[in-house]
Amino acid sequence: MSQTKNPKPDRAPDEETHGEGAPSDVVKARADQAYYAELFIDALGDPDNAPLGWWHLKLWNGP
C-alpha cells in the first residue's frame, strides 16, 4: 500500500485485524483493494508476545 486513493471516512473502520510477523501478501492485497486502509507495521515487536514484530490493519469498505 503506497498511496491513499480515497479520503479517510469519518467513522470507525469496517474491519480491524492484526497478526505477528510481517504482513502476508494477502493482507497487503486486502489493503490495496479497500476503499481506505491503514496498515501499521511494528518490526521490533515485543520480546515475549511478538518477537517477530506485528502488524495491524484497519479497513473501510466504502465512504
According to the model, what pLDDT value does residue 2 have? 47
Distances (CA, A) of 37 to 29, 31, 32, 55, 63: 11, 5, 8, 13, 12
Cα–Cα distance, 29 to 33 (Å, whole number): 6
- Rounded to two decimals, what is the model's pTM? 0.78
Q: What is the mean pLDDT of residues 9-35?
A: 93
32-52 tens-digit pLDDT: 999 999 999 888 877 777 778
Q: Name which of 16, 15, 10, 21 is nearest 51 in CA terms.
A: 21
DSSP letters for 31-55: HHHSSEEEEEEESS-BTTTBTT-EE
pLDDT surpasses 80 at 56: yes
Contact 40, 56 (CB under 8 A): yes
